[in-house]
Amino acid sequence: MSESRVPSRRRYLVCEPRHFTVQYAINPWMHPDRPVDIDLARGQWAELIGAYRTHGHTVDTVEPVTGLPDMVFAANSALVLEGRVFGSFFHAPERRPESSAYDSWFKAAGYDVHRPESVCEGEGDLVPAGRWVLAGTGFRTTREAHREVQEFFGVPVISLQLVNPWFYHLDTALFVLDEGHDANIAYWPGAFSPGSREVLARLYPDAVLATREDALAFGLNSVSDGRHVFISPRAEELAARLARQGYVPVPVDLSEFHKAGGGIKCCTQEIR
Given the candidates 3.75.10.10, 2.60.120.10, 2.60.40.1180, 3.30.230.10, the CATH classification of the domain at 2-270 is 3.75.10.10
Q: Which amino acid is at 206?
A: D
pLDDT digits (tens, 9 = 90+) for 9-66: 999 999 999 999 999 999 999 999 999 999 999 999 999 999 999 999 999 999 999 9
pLDDT at position 138 is: 98
Closest CA to 129 of 86, 169, 76, 174: 174
Exposure string over 155-192, b if 16+ CB within 10 A, otherwise e: eebbbbbbebebbbbbbbbbbbbbbeeebbbbbbbebb
The pLDDT confidence band at residue 179, using thresholds 50, 70 and 90, is confident
Residue 1 has pLDDT above 80, yes or no: no
Q: Do 207 and 187 contact (CB within 8 A), yes or no?
A: yes
Which positions are annotated as active-site residues? 169, 266
Name 42's Cβ contacts closer than 8 Å, sequence gap at least 6. 16, 17, 18
15 by DSSP, 3-state: which?
Answer: strand
State pTM to two decimals. Answer: 0.97
Dihedrals phi, psi of 46, to nearest 5 degrees: -60, -35
Measured in whole angstroms, how far is the alpha carbon of residue 237 from the centre of its chain? 20
Closest CA to 77 of 85, 130, 69: 85
Closest CA to 21 of 42, 31, 36, 40: 36
The pLDDT confidence band at residue 180, using thresholds 50, 70 and 90, is confident
The pLDDT confidence band at residue 3, using thresholds 50, 70 and 90, is low
47 by DSSP, 3-state: which?
Answer: helix
Angle at 261 between CA 167 and CA 256, to 5 degrees: 145
- List the chain domain ranges: 2-270
